[in-house]
Amino acid sequence: MYVASLGRDATQTQVSALFLHYANLLFGLGILAGPALVRGRRGFWPALVGSVLAAIGFANLSGMLLSDWWNLSASTHLDPEQAATVFEGFQQSSLLALWEGTMPFNLLGPVLVLVGLIRAGVIRWWTVPVYIAGVAGLMVIPADLPLATAAAVLVGFSPLALVGLRLVGRYRAGTI
Give the tens place of pLDDT for each residue, 47-71. 999 999 999 999 999 888 888 888 8
Amino acid in position 96? L
Residue 176 has pLDDT above 80, yes or no: no
pLDDT for 128-165, tens place per residue? Answer: 999 999 999 988 999 789 899 889 989 999 999 999 99
Q: Could you tell me the pLDDT band of residue 99, with boundaries at 50, 70 and 90?
A: confident
- The reported pLDDT for the residue numbered 148 is 92
